[in-house]
Amino acid sequence: MSQPPTFAVISGAQVHRAVSGREDQITHVVEAAYRAHGEGATVNPDSYFLRFPERPASRIIALPASLRAGFDVHGIKWISSFPENVATGLPRASAVLILNDTDTGYPFACLESSIISATRTAASAALAAVRLSECRNGSERPTRVGFFGAGLIARYIHAYLVGNGFSFRELGVHDLSAEHAAAFKGYLERTEKATVTVHRRPEDLIRGSDLVVFATVAGEPHVTDAAWFAHNPLVLHISLRDLAPEIILSSYNVVDDVEHCMKANTSPHLAEQHVGHRSFVAGTLYDVLTGKLAPPTDQPVIFSPFGLGVLDLAVATYVHDQVAMEGGLHEVPGFFHELDRYGRGPAGA
């Protein structure tokens, strides 16, 4: 080994600077990762869940992945989901991500990853909204959007929708917490010139929106009436467990990865258990990107992304390269100490 490997730590502030104002660029990065995944240039194992008997709503998830096709990186995201945080004012999720060199396997960076996770989630949602809208309506995009859930992910998705060219004349908000709904309404009013309405009844939000964004912390379905979707909206089912099987089964369903989505009692997984097959899934977002799928206009169209680790790797690699290019990498001196089998020093001397 001629040069010892280095290890850098990239803070949340650095991540934020690297992605801010670059919604369109990040969305293209996420699209490239989806295309790589669809073309077999990834390894994306099942997520691993650390659960706690005394806190059944909380979990910490490991998402290992490998991404080639121009990215050439391995890595893992370690993300916690503690819904109880919301009551204290903290975000539900916190995360770190490790990037590994593909030649040596050595980790070369650790990044604060809650921002990366929110960014890739929002970019994925915006990409789906753009492509599915184009497939259904050509250049016409939904102008009435409803946010079911008013947290950090909803805010990021809104920013990425706007950053990808969506322009709204009506925005709706529904949240179980009146305080959170009011705060999100305030954010939207600071960034939009359109009408913003807080809906007390979820039915009113859904019926009044052509694009519905589910970004909740729900652990099981709570929206059960398929009639609310009779106007055939585009639904970004980001939180995955909001919709009853009956709604999934009466809609046109697109997922990010079929095998991954049919796990952990997601709404599509519950629908599969209900009917014993998966034929209600039309295909994947990759199929949409490559023109294999053409979603209809006479059904609700639901995008349910399980969230692929390769997307995190793609965004994290972009962030790492941006920070390195700007000379901002904070390397930890001597992080790797035992680099010779016989203790002759880092260079084997």
DSSP string, 162-217: HHTT---SEEEEE-S-HHHHHHHHHHHHHH-SSEEEE-SSHHHHHHT-SEEEE---
- CATH for 8-116+309-331 is 3.30.1780.10
Q: Where are the alpha helices (DSSP H) in 193-308?
A: 202-207, 245-249, 258-261, 267-275, 285-289
The domain 125-304 having CATH identifier 3.40.50.720: the answer here is yes
Ranges of CATH 3.40.50.720 domains, the chain: 125-304
- Write out the two tokens for 43: 């390894």
State the Cα–Cα distance between residues 330 and 341, nearest whole angstrom. Answer: 27
Buried b (16+ CB within 10 A) or exposed e, 179-203: ebbebbbebbeeebeeebebbeebe
* Identity of the amino acid at 84: E
- The reported pLDDT for the residue numbered 346 is 55
The DSSP line for 9-20 is: EE-HHHHHHHHT
DSSP 8-state code for residue 242: S
- Give the angle 220-116-335 at the CA atoms, nearest 5°: 120
Q: What tokens appear for 194 in the block?
A: 């359109």
Residues carrying CATH 3.30.1780.10, the chain = 8-116+309-331
DSSP 83: T
The pLDDT of residue 348 is 47
Per-residue pLDDT of the chain (349 residues; tens, 9 = 90+): 457 789 999 999 999 999 999 999 999 999 999 999 999 999 999 989 999 999 998 999 999 999 999 899 999 999 999 988 988 988 888 999 999 999 999 999 999 999 999 999 999 999 999 999 999 888 789 999 999 999 999 999 999 999 999 999 999 999 999 999 999 999 999 999 999 999 999 999 999 999 999 999 898 999 999 999 999 999 999 999 999 999 999 999 999 999 999 998 999 999 999 999 999 999 999 999 999 999 999 999 999 999 899 999 999 999 999 999 999 999 999 999 888 888 876 554 4
* Whole-number pLDDT of residue 1: 42
